[in-house]
A and B are shown apart, each in its own frame.
Chain A
Amino acid sequence: MVDQSLSVPKYWRRIPQYYRLTALKCRKCGRVYFPPRAICDCGSREFDEVELPRRGRLIEFTVLRSVTSDFEKQRPLIFGIVDLNGVRVLGQLVDCPNPEKLSDNAEVEVVFRRVKEDSDYGIIYYGFKLRPLKGCW
């Protein structure tokens, strides 16, 4: 998920993950890591960059009705875990005004959205979110 306590340097370093879901695939055993990590469970340090697919299935989700002040206008916030070709990714679900109609296993797509911004004058942080293709309105 896109970190909610971002600073400009941290955001800049994570742009490949936040913008394009860039993961690392182990050259030895083929396991894919998102977010990336330095050493694979198999012990290898050799990875290739891969982008995760932009469609997947919702595994589980939760609805937050009490949220921090930065996100009051987006209440209720929905967070879910999706399966993107075998890789589980946590993210915010959007364009889902009626979460009671949302169900596990719903098909979702990865979308590019504003995540937060530093006041009216600071930087706008962009990143990925998840959007159900249908069924929650």
Chain B
Amino acid sequence: MAIGIVGWGAYIPRYRIKTREIAEAWGDDALRIRDMYLVEEKAVGYIDEDPVTMAVEASRDALIRAGVKPSEVGAVFAGTESKPYAVKPISSILIDALGLSRQVYSVDMEFACKAGSDAVINLMGLVKANLIKYGIAVGTDSSQGEPGEHLEYTVGTGAVAYVIGSGNLAAEIKYTYPYASDTPDFWRRDGSPYPVHGEGFTGEPAYFRHIIGAAKGLMDELGMKPNDFDYAVFHQPNARFPVRAAQMLGFPLEKVKPGIVVDLIGNTYNASALLGLAKVLEEAKPGAKIMVVTFGSGAGSNAFYIEATDQLPGKVKLARTISEMLEDKVYIDYSLYLKYRRIIKMIHG
């Protein structure tokens, strides 16, 4: 049974702030910041946007591209690390916002930035077991970055959703491979407003070990090499990390560049690599072979081998594209950024 992506949707807020603007507000060297992260600007949700609203927008477009009726959906899983409620699910709001039936398996998932991809894998299992016909997997985040700290330069806002099923596929998910361990690279304690890095662990022991471990494991089990893939998409906390991961694995720059969005919208956490995949799907030809490797701190990666079908090109224009959303932008200054992201503690509205 071929299982994969029936439809997909994404959402990027209209507002953007340049990293240069943030650097100037804090007296940092803007060129040095740009050189460190290669992030030009990032997406900022308006004051009335959050991971719930973005999840709804992305999921609606995913259902349109899938051509699936809401009543045919049997599960909705939302991956996030920035839930508006500590206790009250995003997934149940999605049920009513999308008009799904009441007989829907629904849960929010958390594994830092990786849970959205775990939602995809769990839905594949439910489809394969014939427990559901279609499921919706969502990655959505509007995460936190302490003002004046380096995370603030890269933390972005966005969501992506995939309808997973076994017929009418835009792309088949042919294989998955996990790589996870207890690695203290990044965390946010309960009640803490901002996350912190375990400084020495962020790069090599966390991101690169898990990304490379999952990617190599996938290729070893399939007997494939980087030359066999047309695209490689990696989790993108900044634009340097995925490019370096590609170099370490032997992928040329032209295979990884189409899936990089962090330079223009920032790190969208649970949407990050899956948004990169959505951008690749907009240009991939039938038969294109795509590797996707997600990453979540704490830490773990999921690697996917995905192959585009003949139906892919016909689905691209059925809903808003990443390319259109990247162009649809309004720049704001740092003071508006603080207001829109509710970083200033306000008593009224």
Q: Does B349 contact A19, Cβ atoms closer than 8 Å?
A: no
Q: Does B348 contact A115, Cβ atoms closer than 8 Å?
A: no
Q: Does A111 contact B330, Cβ atoms closer than 8 Å?
A: no
Q: Does A95 contact B46, Cβ atoms closer than 8 Å?
A: yes
Q: Could you mark each residue 93-111 of chain A with 1 if its beta carbon is under 8 Å from any beta carbon of chain B, else 0?
A: 0110100000000000001
- The complex places the Cα of A9 from the Cα of B339 at a distance, in Å, of 30
Q: Does A71 contact B349, Cβ atoms closer than 8 Å?
A: yes
- The complex places the Cα of A116 from the Cα of B50 at a distance, in Å, of 12
- Which B residue sits closest to A133, measured CB to CB? B328
> What distance in Å separates the Cβ of A79 from its nearest Cβ neighbour in chain B?
14
- Which B residue sits closest to A20, measured CB to CB? B99
Partner of B330 from A73, A95, A113 at Cβ < 8 Å: A95
> What distance in Å separates the Cβ of A77 from its nearest Cβ neighbour in chain B?
10
Q: Does A20 contact B348, Cβ atoms closer than 8 Å?
A: no
- The complex places the Cα of A59 from the Cα of B263 at a distance, in Å, of 38
Q: Does A74 contact B96, Cβ atoms closer than 8 Å?
A: no
- The complex places the Cα of A38 from the Cα of B49 at a distance, in Å, of 34
> What distance in Å separates the Cβ of A75 from its nearest Cβ neighbour in chain B?
9
Q: Does A72 contact B349, Cβ atoms closer than 8 Å?
A: yes
Partner of A69 from B60, B96, B348 at Cβ < 8 Å: B348
Residues from chain B with Cβ under 8 Å of A97 in the complex? 330
> What distance in Å separates the Cβ of B294 from its nearest Cβ neighbour in chain A?
25
Q: Does B96 contact A70, Cβ atoms closer than 8 Å?
A: no
Residues from chain A with Cβ under 8 Å of B248 in the complex? none
Q: Could you mark each residue 45-83 of chain A with 1 if its beta carbon is under 8 Å from any beta carbon of chain B, else 0?
A: 000000100100000000000000111111000000000
Q: Does B47 contact A112, Cβ atoms closer than 8 Å?
A: no
Q: Is A6 an interface residue (CB 8 A)?
A: no
Q: Is A114 an interface residue (CB 8 A)?
A: yes
Q: Is B48 an interface residue (CB 8 A)?
A: yes
Residues from chain A with Cβ under 8 Å of B14 in the complex? 95, 131
Q: Does B53 contact A70, Cβ atoms closer than 8 Å?
A: no
- The complex places the Cα of A72 from the Cα of B15 at a distance, in Å, of 19
Interface residues on A, range: 20 to 34
> What distance in Å separates the Cβ of B161 from its nearest Cβ neighbour in chain A?
13
Q: Does A112 contact B349, Cβ atoms closer than 8 Å?
A: no
Q: Is B126 an interface residue (CB 8 A)?
A: no
Q: Does A114 contact B349, Cβ atoms closer than 8 Å?
A: no
> What distance in Å separates the Cβ of B225 from its nearest Cβ neighbour in chain A?
44
Q: Does A126 contact B349, Cβ atoms closer than 8 Å?
A: no
Q: Is B346 an interface residue (CB 8 A)?
A: yes
Partner of A114 from B53, B96, B328 at Cβ < 8 Å: B53
> What distance in Å separates the Cβ of A2 from its nearest Cβ neighbour in chain B?
11
Partner of B348 from A15, A70, A126 at Cβ < 8 Å: A70
Known pairs A73-B339, A97-B330; A114 contacts B348 (CB<8 A) = no
Q: Does B97 contact A73, Cβ atoms closer than 8 Å?
A: no
- The complex places the Cα of A56 from the Cα of B48 at a distance, in Å, of 21
> What distance in Å separates the Cβ of B53 from its nearest Cβ neighbour in chain A?
5
Q: Is B141 an interface residue (CB 8 A)?
A: no
- Which A residue sits closest to B55, measured CB to CB? A112
Known pairs A73-B349, A74-B47, A137-B330; A112 contacts B96 (CB<8 A) = no
Q: Does B97 contact A94, Cβ atoms closer than 8 Å?
A: no
Q: Does B97 contact A20, Cβ atoms closer than 8 Å?
A: yes
- The complex places the Cα of A116 from the Cα of B349 at a distance, in Å, of 8
Q: Is A25 an interface residue (CB 8 A)?
A: no
Known pairs A111-B57, A115-B48; A126 contacts B85 (CB<8 A) = no
Q: Could you mark each residue 309-348 of chain B with 1 if its beta carbon is under 8 Å from any beta carbon of chain A, else 0?
A: 0000000000000000000101000000001000000101
> What distance in Å separates the Cβ of B3 from its nearest Cβ neighbour in chain A?
29
- The complex places the Cα of A114 from the Cα of B45 at a distance, in Å, of 12
- The complex places the Cα of A125 from the Cα of B185 at a distance, in Å, of 35
Q: Could you mark each residue 118-137 of chain A with 1 if its beta carbon is under 8 Å from any beta carbon of chain B, else 0?
A: 00000010100101001001
Q: Does B97 contact A126, Cβ atoms closer than 8 Å?
A: yes
- Which B residue sits closest to A12, measured CB to CB? B96
- Which B residue sits closest to A19, measured CB to CB? B97
8 nearest A-B pairs in the assembled complex, by CB-CB distance: A112-B56, A114-B48, A113-B48, A70-B349, A19-B97, A137-B330, A69-B348, A95-B14
Q: List 9 A-B contacts (CB under 8 A).
A: A20-B99, A69-B348, A73-B346, A74-B47, A74-B349, A113-B48, A113-B53, A115-B48, A131-B14
